[in-house]
Amino acid sequence: MSSTSQKHRDFVAEPMGEKPVGSLAGIGEVLGKKLAEKGFDKAYVVLGQFLVLRKDEELFREWLKDTCGANAKQSRDCSGCLREWCDAFL
């Protein structure tokens, strides 16, 4: 199992609530701003897209790349974070 960042561990440790999109692992200030400009300002809105794509991490990573220019590591970190959150809370 690959190691996860502190940001990842913090995110999956509790309910999502109204956390901003930048609280997701792999999403920093620049990507967060790009996502917010496209209407994905909260982590739960990005989670919605993940669920619409039926939790298909490959499709989600492609969507993230197309939507905000996320690189492979960023999109992998974000999808892994959401998958783990779903496993814990859904």
pLDDT bin (cut points 50, 70, 90) of residue 2 is low
CATH of residue 82's domain is 1.10.150.40
**pLDDT, tens only, 13-68:** 999 999 999 999 999 999 999 999 999 999 999 999 999 999 999 999 999 999 99
Residue 66: the pLDDT is 98
Q: Which residue in the block uniquely carries the two structure tokens 């960042």? A: 5
Statement: residue 1 has pLDDT above 90? no
Higher pLDDT, 4 or 38: 38
Confidence (pLDDT) at 3:
79
At residue 8, the pLDDT reads 96
Give the residue numbers spanning the domain of 20.
Answer: 4-87
CA-based nearest residue to 48, from 88, 74, 21, 14 = 21
CA of 33: how far to CAs of 12, 40, 65, in Å? 22, 9, 14
Question: In the chain, how many domains are there?
Answer: 1
